Structure formats: structure tokens, C-alpha cells
């Protein structure tokens, strides 16, 4: 319990009157922290904190790497910058040893500052000093964690760039003939045969590395720590990450398996305008990054570059590529869907060499000054067009339909109309692709006139819908003709449920195996619904563990 002696020992409060001290005692929180416990996380709600005993470490994550910015010792405070700017905490504060911290909420602090001008003056001076320090930090040139040398049209280089970008690993990329290569690559520059070559920040040099090898060297988790988990989530999109957050927060041993990078297809979206709580919209990778940090902070394990080869439903053993076998008491399928492919002459030859399925944000810088084309008229295509319009000279949407409004949200249609370098070709389709080492031109046919015209093309991005890729699932897990997993009443209607109780809403034909997000048979395909289903799946997994699990 706080005492007047505790508070009076703090220089900031030394001149307060007795009644103010008493009021602080009865309105402030007394936090007793173990070593490693946080008083407040980065982005936390503003408040004033006072260190009464112990030692607090100031940390901030830069480009996925945690960095110590300083320390707070007994008698010092933190929270002055968020209070001065009415903003969230720019960094986190973690106990380096058992510590005691007093927390004064924002409203109480402002009342105190109004009644005690000396406190307000000292806080203002300290805030100005520390804001100056933050400005100095922001002026430091960022250091990329990876330097890459590789040809733009090399599919291995494209794969590595996309992997780094999707996992939010900063990197510098140069081509082998870049004039600055010798200055930015210490020692002997890599030859064409060595490319793509990577140099990590610690000096490690890799030549044509496998993704899993690279992931391990960058500190990404690729191996499970346990042999058994309460719930295993297959897929790290919005549904899977939501399940991870709720599973870990409720004390379940939670493991997420992701073959590439957390975020799923939503992670490639340049801007999600209609997600609750983000009035100015949020990019897919930002949303995924926040969810990923939250899941890890709560204790979930996230494995990348791992695929499931098969599931033994009787023993609930999940077999991974590489031979690892992990037992899961419950399984949540959140694998999402895969972009549908076009069967057009020449397309397969240019995949990763100018033709891309979905929006590859890492390719945006390479489209500067070029004319690019997008196939599709859905929201994903519209969001990508808006994003690429900030880089390309001209962006053209090609779709078979006669109106964008039939397949795209109105807010996107209006934003596209406002862009002077975005065009729409209705009633049209791409019928050919041309080039030598990479895509340089496409043929577009007008459905009404049947006329075919050839256009120079600096990049073609395809958004023609997606399908569930569930052929790898065992036959015991029921799916419809298109591969979507049946759950709840749909399992019963299909005659695939034989358990004594009714299936839970998101439960598949195998008790204890659940499905959520786009892979589940459902007419709704939205980020918000996927997040909701991910959290609901954990609630049903809890029920199963309480009543059915062996």
C-alpha cells in the first residue's frame, strides 16, 4: 500500500501539500512487478508512472529488433511524453529486476497539474528533453537487416524479397550491375552464379539460401518448443492470428503453423478501409504485424516456413515437412484460400518475372514510371490499384464485367475515379503475354468488338478470385466440391457427423478439429468475419477440451 513517505521521496512530488499527497495515495495504483514484467507496453494508454524501487528498462522495437533506450531508477518517472502529446507510449517499460511502480492515470495527473503549477512545469521540461532524444533517435539512418544482390527477374530473388517483406524484415536490394554495389558490399562482390546473395547485419553471407535457413538466421521461429499443444492453428492469416491471441490469452498452449509469413492474403492488402477501430484505414501488413506482436506477447508460438504434410485424426498427430510430428489436443484450420490461376498461353513462363498473383507490395518500387495492369474487379484489385497508382505511371484495371460497382465496394470505386492515373477497361480480358526474359507486353481482347490490342506492360497483377487448397486434408474431414471445409449444421446435413452430441458451430466432421476464416464453407469472406471466427474457434476448442478431450 502506498504511503506519504513513498510519494514524498519522489522529487516531482516533493513540494505537494499534504492533502494532495493523501489524494494521490487513494487514487494511484501500486504495481509490484517481477523481473521481465511490463509496466506498460509500446502503444499503451497514457499515464504517469513513478519508480519507487527496482529498475525499469526502456525498450522499443525497431524493424522487429528490440532495442534498449535507457533505464528508469527509483525516484524517476516515465509517461511524460504521452501525457504532453496526448499520445500512446512510444516505447515499453519492463522491470529489469523486482520493482515497485506507482501509476497515476491521465485524468488524475491533469487535475494534479492544474492544482500544482510546479509539477506541470517540471513535467513539461522533462517532456521537452525526452522528445528531443526521440527526435535524435528518429534522425538516425535505419540499418537494413539484410542486404541482397540479385536480378529482378530471377524467381528465387523475387521469392526472397517477398518473404522478407511479408515478415517485416528490412532489406536493401541491388542488382549485380548496380554501380553502388562495391561500396555497399564489403569484400568480394557476389558473382551472377552466387545470386541471389544475402549479407546479414552480423556479416553472415548466404548464397541462394533456402527460406527456412534464412528464417532461422533472422531469429524467426521454425521449430516447435513442445511435443504437444492444447491447440494447433494451421494458417497465420487474420483468422489464425485471432485464434492465437485468444488461445494464448486464455492459457492454452498455442502453436501457429505458417508456410510463408503471418498475415495471409489480408497481409498483402495495401489498405483496409472498413475494419472496425481504424477510421483512417489500416494496411494488411500493419494489421498482421500488430496481431503477431500481440499473439507472441501473450505466449503463442508462431512457426514460419513450415507446412503440414498430413494429419492423423485418430491420434491428432500433425506431421510437418522435415519429419517433425506434433500432437495437438485440438486443431484449428485457418489456411485461407489461394489465388485462382489463369490458363493463358505464356503466363506460366512469366510468373515472378512480371506476372504476379495477388498484390506483391515488395514489387511496388520496381513499377516507377511504368504502365501496369491488374486483372479483376473485386476489392482486392481496387486496393492494389490505389496502392500502385502512387508508383506506376499508369494503372489499368481489366475486367470482363460491364461495371465496377457490381463487384467492388463503393468507397473504392469513388477513390479510383479520383485517381488521374487509373483507368478501367470494362468488358475486356487479357489473352496473351509476351517477352524474352520477362514480361514486356500483353494482348487484351474487347468482348464486344472481339478486337485484340497489344499493350506495353511493366507488370501484370491477377485478382480473379481464390479457391480452398485442402487436398492435403484427410478424407475424414468433410469438404464441399470446391474444397471448403464443412462445419456445424453443414456437417450434419452432409451426413458426416456420428458423435453423440451436436457439432459446435465451427467444428468439422472430426470432433476437436475446427475451421475458421476463408477455408470454411461460408458466404461471408471478410477480414472482420475471419477475426471473429478465429476467436470463436477458441471458445469451442475450450468446450471440447473440457468435455470431450481424451
Q: Which of 217, 246, 279 is the last residue of a domain?
A: 217
CA 167 to chain centre: 8
Annotate 102-155 with DSSP letters as a single string.
EEEEHHHHHHHHHH-HHHHHHHHHHHHHHHHHHHHHHHSPP--SEEEE--TT-H
* Residue 223 is assigned to a structural domain of this protein: no
Q: Which of 168, 184, 217 is the last residue of a domain?
A: 217
Pairing of strands 301-304, 254-258: parallel
Q: Are 134 and 155 in the same domain?
A: no
CA 12 to chain centre: 41
Axis crossing angle, helix 238-249 with helix 284-297, rounded to the nearest 10: 20
Q: Are 169 and 199 in the same domain?
A: yes
Q: How far apart are CA 289 and CA 299, in angstroms?
A: 16
Query: How would you write the pLDDT of the chain (550 residues) with one tens digit per residue?
Result: 788 888 888 888 888 888 888 888 888 888 999 898 889 988 888 899 999 999 999 988 776 677 888 899 999 889 888 888 888 888 899 999 999 999 998 888 888 888 888 888 888 888 777 776 555 545 455 578 899 999 988 889 988 988 988 888 888 888 888 888 888 888 888 888 889 999 998 889 999 999 999 999 998 999 999 999 999 999 999 999 999 999 999 999 999 999 888 877 776 676 677 777 777 677 777 788 888 888 988 999 999 999 999 999 988 999 999 899 999 999 999 998 888 888 887 788 898 888 988 876 667 777 888 999 999 998 889 988 988 888 889 999 999 998 999 889 898 999 899 899 999 999 999 999 999 989 999 999 998 899 999 999 999 999 888 889 899 999 999 999 999 999 999 999 999 998 889 999 999 999 999 999 999 999 887 888 999 999 999 999 999 999 876 5
Cross-strand bridge partners of residue 355 = 351, 460
* Residue 416 is assigned to a structural domain of this protein: yes
Question: For the whole model, what pTM was predicted?
Answer: 0.78
99 close to 33: Cβ distance less than 8 angstroms: yes
* Residue 26 is assigned to a structural domain of this protein: yes
- Check which CATH number belongs to the domain holding 107 and give it: 2.60.120.10
Q: How many CB atoms lie within 10 A of CB 5?
A: 8
Q: How far apart are CA 482 and CA 110, in angstroms?
A: 59
End-to-end CA distance of the chain: 46
Q: Are 10 and 127 in the same domain?
A: yes
- Check which CATH number belongs to the domain holding 459 and give it: 3.50.50.60
Domain containing residue 164:
146-217
Q: How many CB atoms lie within 10 A of CB 128?
A: 12
Q: Which of 109, 139, 169 is the last residue of a domain?
A: 139
* Residue 105 is assigned to a structural domain of this protein: yes
* Residue 222 is assigned to a structural domain of this protein: no
Q: Are 539 and 497 in the same domain?
A: yes
Q: Are 358 and 386 in the same domain?
A: yes
Q: Are 87 and 163 in the same domain?
A: no
Q: Are 120 and 165 in the same domain?
A: no
The predicted pLDDT at position 128 comes to: 78
Q: How far apart are CA 490 and CA 479, in angstroms?
A: 10
Q: How far apart are CA 87 and CA 437, in angstroms?
A: 50
Q: How far apart are CA 361 and CA 387, in angstroms?
A: 8
Q: Are 28 and 132 in the same domain?
A: yes
SS3 letters across 150-206: CCCCCHHHHHHHHHHHHCCCCEEEECCCCCCHHHHCCCCCCCHHHCCEEEECCCCEE
Q: Are 367 and 314 in the same domain?
A: no
Q: Is 89 helix (H, G, I), strand (E, B) or coil?
A: coil
Q: How far apart are CA 105 and CA 83, in angstroms?
A: 10
Helix (H) or strand (E) holding 452: strand 452-456
Tell me the pLDDT tens digit for each residue of 171-192.
888 888 888 888 888 888 888 8
* Residue 535 is assigned to a structural domain of this protein: yes
DSSP state of 493: H
Q: Are 81 and 63 in the same domain?
A: yes
Q: Are 273 and 388 in the same domain?
A: no
Q: How far apart are CA 541 and CA 536, in angstroms?
A: 9
Q: Are 123 and 10 in the same domain?
A: yes
Count of domains for the chain: 4
- Check which CATH number belongs to the domain holding 157 and give it: 3.40.30
Q: Is 491 helix (H, G, I), strand (E, B) or coil?
A: helix
* Residue 329 is assigned to a structural domain of this protein: yes
Cα 431 to Cα 133, 343, 439, 448, 451: the distances in Å are: 57, 9, 14, 15, 11
Tell me the pLDDT tens digit for each residue of 64-97.
677 888 899 999 889 888 888 888 888 899 999 9
* Residue 446 is assigned to a structural domain of this protein: yes
63 close to 168: Cβ distance less than 8 angstroms: yes
Amino acid at each position: 500500500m502506498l504511503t506519504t513517505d513513498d510519494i514524498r521521496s519522489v522529487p516531482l512530488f516533493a513540494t505537494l501539500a499534504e492533502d494532495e499527497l493523501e489524494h494521490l495515495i487513494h487514487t494511484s495504483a501500486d504495481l509490484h512487478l517481477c523481473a521481465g514484467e511490463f509496466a506498460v507496453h509500446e502503444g499503451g494508454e497514457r499515464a504517469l508512472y513513478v519508480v519507487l524501487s527496482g529498475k525499469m528498462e526502456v525498450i522499443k522495437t525497431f524493424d522487429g529488433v528490440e532495442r534498449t533506450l535507457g533505464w528508469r531508477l527509483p525516484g524517476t518517472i516515465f509517461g511524460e511524453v504521452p501525457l504532453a502529446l496526448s499520445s500512446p507510449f512510444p516505447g515499453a517499460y519492463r522491470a529489469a529486476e523486482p520493482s515497485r511502480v506507482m501509476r497515476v492515470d491521465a485524468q488524475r495527473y491533469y487535475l494534479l497539474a492544474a492544482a500544482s503549477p510546479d509539477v506541470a512545469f517540471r513535467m513539461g521540461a522533462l517532456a521537452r528533453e525526452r522528445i528531443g532524444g526521440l527526435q535524435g533517435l528518429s534522425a538516425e539512418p535505419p540499418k537494413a537487416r539484410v542486404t541482397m544482390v540479385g536480378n529482378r527477374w530471377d524467381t528465387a530473388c523475387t521469392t526472397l524479397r517477398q518473404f522478407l517483406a511479408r515478415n517485416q524484415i528490412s532489406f536493401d536490394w541491388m542488382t549485380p550491375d548496380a554501380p553502388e554495389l562495391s561500396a555497399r558490399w564489403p569484400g568480394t562482390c557476389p558473382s551472377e552464379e552466387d545470386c541471389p546473395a544475402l549479407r546479414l547485419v552480423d556479416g553472415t553471407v548466404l548464397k541462394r539460401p533456402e527460406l527456412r535457413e534464412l528464417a532461422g538466421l533472422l531469429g524467426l521461429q521454425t521449430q516447435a518448443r513442445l511435443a504437444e499443444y492444447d491447440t494447433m492453428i494451421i494458417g497465420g492469416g487474420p483468422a489464425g492470428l485471432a485464434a492465437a491471441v485468444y488461445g494464448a490469452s486464455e492459457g492454452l498452449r498455442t502453436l501457429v503453423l505458417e508456410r510463408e509469413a503471418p498475415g495471409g492474403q489480408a497481409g498483402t492488402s495495401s489498405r483496409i478501409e472498413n475494419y472496425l477501430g481504424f477510421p483512417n484505414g489500416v494496411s494488411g501488413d500493419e494489421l498482421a504485424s500488430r496481431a503477431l506482436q500481440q499473439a507472441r506477447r501473450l505466449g503463442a508460438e508462431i512457426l514460419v516456413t513450415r507446412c503440414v504434410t498430413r494429419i492423423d485424426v485418430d491420434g491428432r498427430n500433425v506431421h510437418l515437412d522435415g519429419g517433425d510430428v506434433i500432437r495437438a489436443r485440438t486443431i484449428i484450420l485457418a489456411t485461407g484460400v489461394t489465388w485462382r490461376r489463369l490458363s493463358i498461353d505464356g503466363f506460366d513462363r512469366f510468373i515472378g518475372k512480371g506476372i504476379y498473383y495477388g498484390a506483391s507490395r515488395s514489387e511496388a518500387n520496381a513499377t516507377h514510371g511504368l504502365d501496369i495492369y491488374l486483372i479483376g474487379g473485386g476489392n482486392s484489385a481496387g486496393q492494389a490499384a490505389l496502392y500502385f497508382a502512387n508508383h506506376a505511371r499508369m494503372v489499368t484495371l481489366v475486367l470482363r464485367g460491364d461495371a465496377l460497382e457490381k463487384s467492388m465496394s463503393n468507397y473504392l470505386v469513388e477513390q479510383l475515379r479520383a485517381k488521374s492515373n487509373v483507368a478501367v477497361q470494362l468488358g475486356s480480358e487479357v489473352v496473351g503475354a509476351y517477352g524474352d526474359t520477362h514480361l514486356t507486353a500483353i494482348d487484351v481482347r474487347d468482348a464486344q468488338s472481339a478486337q485484340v490490342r497489344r499493350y506495353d506492360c511493366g507488370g501484370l497483377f491477377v485478382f480473379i478470385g481464390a479457391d480452398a487448397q485442402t487436398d492435403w486434408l484427410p478424407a475424414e474431414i468433410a469438404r464441399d466440391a470446391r474444397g471448403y471445409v464443412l462445419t456445424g449444421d453443414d456437417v450434419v446435413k452432409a451426413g458426416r457427423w456420428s458423435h453423440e452430441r451436436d457439432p459446435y458451430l465451427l467444428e468439422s466432421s472430426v470432433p476437436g478439429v475446427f475451421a475458421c476464416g476463408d477455408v470454411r464453407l461460408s458466404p461471408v469472406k471478410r477480414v472482420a468475419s475471419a477475426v471473429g471466427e478465429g476467436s470463436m474457434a477458441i471458445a469451442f476448442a475450450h468446450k471440447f477440451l473440457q468435455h470431450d478431450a481424451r
